[in-house]
Structure 1
Amino acid sequence: MIGSALIKVFRKTYRLLIPAITVIILYSRSEIAFAKSPFQFKASVGAEHDSNVSVNELDSNTAQGDNLASLGADLSYKTRLNKKFTISANVGVDQTLHHTFDNFDLQIRKASSGLSYKQDKTTFGLTGYYIDITLGNNDFLTIRNLSPSISHNFTSQSFIRANFTAADKSFSGRSERDAESGAVGLDYYYFMSGTNHYISLGIKYKQEDSLSSIFDYDGNTFKVRWIKSIEAFNKKTKLRIGWSFENRDYNDAFSAGDERRHDDRNKAFIAWKVPFNKNTNVTFKYEYADFTSTLQAADYLQHTTSITFDFAS
C-alpha cells in the first residue's frame, strides 16, 4: 500500500524529510515569497503506484507493480543582464524510493545553464544540461546535451519554438549502450485565454548512434497538450491533458535471423493541480503507457497514479 511505501521512505530519509516538510508547512502558513529575487527554490514530496516497474533505457520491465515515494528539490537562478540578454541556471535532485523493488530506486542529479537574446518578438536561446542518474544506489547513466533554439511570437495568441539538441549518453558498466544523438523539434502554442487556456502541438525527429549498432535508431515523436484553468473550491486550479506517440526504427537486429526492431510508444496523461495558497500545491496525476515492440522485453503496458505536494518560493 502507499502508506507502507511512505513509512519506508520515512525510515530511510527522516533526517531530510522532516525538515523538508517543516519548510513547506512554514511557507504554506506564512506565504513568504521572494518575488524580486532572481533565485527560486522548489521542493516536492509525493506518493505513487506503478503497475509495471520498469527502466525504459534498459528495455526492462518486471510485469509487477509497486508503491513508491518521491522527493525533489530544485534551486534556479534567472536574471536579465539588460533589455535583450537573460541568463539562467538550475541545480536539482529527484529521488524515488520503492516499497519492494529497491534496485529500481532512481536518483537524478541535474544541472543546467542558459543564455537567451530577445529581439522584438523573436528570442534566440542556448541551453546546456548535465544529468547524472543512479539506479538502485549504483552508478547508471550520465547525459550531457546542448540545445540552441529560436522562438517567435506571431500574435498574442500564436507562439512557435524550434530547437536542435545534441546529446551524449554514457552508461556505467553497459558501454555498448553509450550513444550520441541529434534531434530537431518544433512546438506550436495557441493561447485561447493567455496561459489560462491554451493548446500545444509538437513534433520531433531524433537519430541516435550507439556504440553497438543494435541500439541505433531513427525516431519520430508527435505530441499534443491541452491546459485550462478551472475554478474549483474557490481556487484557480489547472487541468492538463496530454498524449504523445513515438515510433522508432532500429538499424539492426538483436540476433541473427531476427527482424529489425520497431517500437511504437503511446503515452497519455491527465493531471489536476490544486493550490493551497500562493506557494503550495497538490497535484493528482494519472499516466498510461502502451509500448509495442518487436523486442518482447520492450513490449508492455503501464499505469501510474500519483499525488504530489509541491512548494515554490
Structure 2
Amino acid sequence: MNTQPTPFAKALARKNNARLNQTINFKQAHSLGLALGAGLLGGLCVLASSATLAEATPKHKPNVQLNLALGAEHDSNVSLKELDQATNESDWATTINAGLKGQWQASPTLKLRAGLNHSGKYYQTFDEFNLDISAANLEASYDFAHLTLGATAHYAYARLDQKAFMQLTQTEIFASKLINHTVFVRAKTARQQKQFADLDARNAHNQAWGADAFWFLNAGRSFLHAGVDTDSETATDSQFNYDGLNLRLGYTTEVAIAGVENTLKLGMRYVGRDYAGHVTLNETTNALGQTETTQGRRADQQYHYEASWTLPLGDTLSLAAKVHLADYQSNLASADYRETLTSLQLQSHF
C-alpha cells in the first residue's frame, strides 16, 4: 500500500516521542556521515597532492570565490517532489544562496576543487514547505597523456520547515577528454545514499552511469550540451525501487547588448522511471459511497524546460531571470501535476 504522509501530517507526527527519537538518530547519522565524508575527502586530497606537491610552483596559487544571491520566486504549484506532494496552489517565496568555492592547480597535471553552499527558499503562505539545504563537495582530477581521471564526493543536508528532513551523500568517478579544442566529453559512474529523518521506507541507495558531451561554437562564446544517465534505486520499501533514464539537452551563449556580454541559457530534460512495486495508484468513490482503489506498478515521465538570462551590472554584480516549466506525468495521482517556477535574483561574486 502506498503510504505518503503530507507535510501537514508530518507536522502532527513531529509531536510524538517516536518522531523525536527518529530525529535524534538522524542527527547522529548526520554527524557520522559528515565525519566519514570529511575523512574520505581529506584522504583523497592528501593522497593526490602528496604525489605531485614537488611539481607545484609559485604560479599555481589557489583561487577562491565567494558567491551571494538574493531573490524572489513565484511557484504556480507549491510542491515537494521528494514526497510526491503538490498543493495545487501558488505562492511567492524569498530565495537566498551563499557559496564558497575554491580551485587549486597543484601541479600542471593535478587539479583540486572544493565548495561549500547554503540555499534557502521561504514561502509567504506555505511555510511548511520552507526548505534549507547545506552542501559540501570536493573533487580531485589528474591529467594523463590522453584523458583526465578524477573523483568527486558530495554531501547535502536538508531541513524542511526548520526540521531535519534528508541527508544525501554521493561519490563519483569520472573520465574526461577535450577533443580538438572543440568537443569535451565526460563519462561517470556515481553511487548515492539517501536517508530521510522520519520516512525510513524512502531511505535508498542509487547507482548511476552517465555521459555528457559539450560542443564549443563561436570561438567558445557558445556551446551545446547533451547528456544521458541511467540509474537504479533500491529503497527500504520496495514500492519506491525504480530504474530510471535521464536525458539532457542545453544551449548556452554570450549575447552582446550595448557592449555588455549577457548570458542566455536554454535547456530541456526528460526523466523516466519504472517502479518495481505494486501500489495504490488512485482512489475514487462510487455512486454507493464506497471507495474503490486502482492497484498497479507506478510509471513516471517528467519533462522540464528552462530558460535563463543573466545581465551583468558591473564587475561583481549581475541580475538573473529564470523560467522553469515542469510537467510531471504519472499513473500515481499524487505525482501527476504541472509546475511553473519564475524567479529573479540579484547575484554577486568576489
Shorter-chain-normalised TM-score: which range?
0.7 to 0.9
CA contact (8 A) 1:121 1:153 kept: no
- For the pair 1:287 / 2:324, whether they are aligned, the reply is yes
Matched residue type, 1:277: G
Matched residue type, 1:147: E
Residues of 1 paired with 2:316 and 2:90: CA distance? 33
- For the pair 1:52 / 2:77, whether they are aligned, the reply is yes
- What residue number does 1:154 align with? 179
CA contact (8 A) 2:62 2:105 kept: no
Larger helix fraction of residues: 2
Residues of 1 paired with 2:273 and 2:153: CA distance? 25
Residues of 1 paired with 2:92 and 2:236: CA distance? 35
- Large movers: runs of 4+ above 2 Å: none
Runs of 5+ in structure 1 lacking a partner?
1-35
Note the alpha carbon deviations across 1:228-267, whole angstroms, 9 max, x for none.
Answer: 1111133100110000111100001114961100000000
Residues of 2 paired with 1:153 and 1:165: CA distance? 21
Question: Which secondary structure does the structure 2 equivalent of 1:67 belong to?
Answer: strand
- For the pair 1:309 / 2:334, whether they are aligned, the reply is no
Residues of 2 paired with 1:223 and 1:89: CA distance? 25
- What residue number does 1:69 align with? 94
- What residue number does 1:263 align with? 300
- For the pair 1:97 / 2:122, whether they are aligned, the reply is yes
Residues of 1 paired with 2:63 and 2:217: CA distance? 30
Question: Which secondary structure does the structure 2 equivalent of 1:214 belong to?
Answer: helix
Residues of 2 paired with 1:257 and 1:295: CA distance? 10
1:121 deviates by 5.0
Shift of the 56–195 alpha-carbon distance from structure 1 to 2, 3 Å rule, reads farther
- What residue number does 1:178 align with? 203
1:37 deviates by 5.2
Question: Which secondary structure does the structure 2 equivalent of 1:259 belong to?
Answer: strand
Note the alpha carbon deviations across 1:157-207, whole angstroms, 9 max, x for none.
Answer: 111001111000000110000000001111011111244111000000010
- For the pair 1:243 / 2:268, whether they are aligned, the reply is yes
Runs of 5+ in structure 2 lacking a partner?
1-60, 281-292
Larger mean CA deviation between 227-236 and 171-180 belongs to 227-236
- For the pair 1:277 / 2:314, whether they are aligned, the reply is yes
Normalising by structure 2, what TM-score? 0.78
Q: 2:64 aligns with which of 26, 39, 62?
A: 39
CA contact (8 A) 1:239 1:272 kept: yes
Give the structure with higher Rg (CA). 2
Where does 1:204-215 land on structure 2 (aligned, <5 Å)? 204-215=229-240
Residues of 2 paired with 1:121 and 1:282: CA distance? 40
Residues of 1 paired with 2:267 and 2:63: CA distance? 31
Note the alpha carbon deviations across 1:63-93, whole angstroms, 9 max, x for none.
Answer: 1000001111111121011111111211111
Note the alpha carbon deviations across 1:31-50, whole angstroms, 9 max, x for none.
Answer: xxxxx652111110010100
Residues of 1 paired with 2:347 and 2:104: CA distance? 23
Normalising by structure 1, what TM-score? 0.87
Q: 2:157 aligns with which of 126, 132, 136?
A: 132
- What residue number does 2:136 align with? 111
CA contact (8 A) 1:121 1:154 kept: no
Note the alpha carbon deviations across 1:93-139, whole angstroms, 9 max, x for none.
Answer: 10111110111011000011111101245211100000000011111
Q: Percent identity?
A: 26
Larger mean CA deviation between 37-46 and 218-227 belongs to 37-46
- Structure number with greater CO (CA < 8 Å, separation at least 6) is 1
